[in-house]
Amino acid sequence: MNYRRLLIPFLVVAITSLHAQQAPRHGSQPVVSPDGSHIAFLSDRDGGDNVFIISADGTNELQLTHAPGDKGALAWTADGKRILFSVFANDASRLVSIDPDGKNQREIATVPGRSPTLSPDGSRILYMLGTWTATRLMVSGPNGSNAKQITDGSSIAWNSHWSPDGKRIAFTGRNAPKGDLVIFIMNADSTGLRQASHFDAGAGNAQWPVWSPDGRQLAIQVNGPQAHDAHICILDAQTGDAHTLAPHNQPYLDETPSWFPDGKHIAFQSNRTGRMEVWVMNVDGSGQRQITR
């Protein structure tokens, strides 16, 4: 089964929506460096997924990897010295690190699941295990050992992201087998599970929750009920209040947000120009500018 092609409408952790796959992904799934100076992203411009890096002003693009493979879970280490990504094959994922200049690529751990992400302090790995409709979130040691299940596996648990302090986890789930996707928050020790998003039924699927630097808000994407319709929203992690950034009526996708460390800007992917590219905007939705070309 090809995870990316079949399950993209909801499994944004692998990339984004099925509609986005109809256009080339020249720049996708951006993650901003801890100092805000660079953006790492994925691209299939050469026929396979590879990791790239670019300065936040759109200059000095560099391709870091040059190998085929189902890559995802792009992230930076907290000190900004390495870029992390996963490579999935044979029902297991390798968590790999690489320097921002493309040197010193090495494997950190292998886990029996998908989308492993390292906690901010580097002491734990979070990943998904199970079927697509009964996904369990697992937390293990930094080498993949001593894995512990933290969700019951009765439904989905996708797009999981650590909070900046490593104490909470946000993820995509749903309350009913055919219900809209919603955002959940839980403590990293498996306690305190609660629904964080509360959109009207049929308003769209909320997913890809990424914590703001201060841990008070989540940037999410909401894929609307119509094809080719996705917006970036800011969600208050405590109250659930949400507002849409740069709302539009045109048929294009704004997805996979990533915060800048100042909390004032967001990088995201959009196919508004015909192919998926990396964009940046202010946290109020103004100042939209294209980064990759």
Query: Within 13 A of 151's CA, how many CA atoms are on the CB side?
Result: 28
How many domains does the chain contain in total? Answer: 1
**Least-confidence region, from 12-16, 91-95, 96-100, 195-199:** 12-16
The SS3 of residue 253 is strand
pLDDT-based confidence at residue 86 (cuts at 50, 70, 90) = very high
User: What is the enclosing helix (H) or strand (E) of 95?
Assistant: strand 92-98
Domain of residue 184: give its range: 3-290
**Least-confidence region, from 10-24, 109-123, 178-192:** 10-24
Nearest Cα neighbor of 74 from 99, 114, 42, 44 is 42
The SS3 of residue 55 is strand
| CATH for 87 | 2.120.10.30
- Amino acid present at 204: G
Largest pairwise CA distance in the chain = 48
pLDDT tens digits along 3-55: 333 343 334 433 333 333 455 799 999 999 999 999 999 999 988 899 999 99
pLDDT, average across residues 140-156: 95
The b/e string for 151-183 (b: 16+ C-beta within 10 A; e otherwise) is bebebbbbbbbbbeebebbbbbbbeeeeebbbb
pLDDT, average across residues 73-85: 97
Q: Pick the most confident of 19-23, 45-49, 68-72, 209-213.
A: 209-213
Which residue's entry shows tokens 């990424």? 210
- With contact defined as beta carbons under 8 Å apart, do 183 and 233 qualify? no
Is the pLDDT at 171 greater than 70? The verdict is yes
- 3-state SS of 117-149? EECCCCCCEEEEEECCCCEEEEEECCCCCCCEE
The SS3 of residue 80 is coil
pLDDT, average across residues 121-131: 96
pLDDT, average across residues 146-158: 95
pLDDT, average across residues 91-106: 97
Average pLDDT over the chain reads: 91
What pLDDT is stored for residue 23 in this prediction?
59
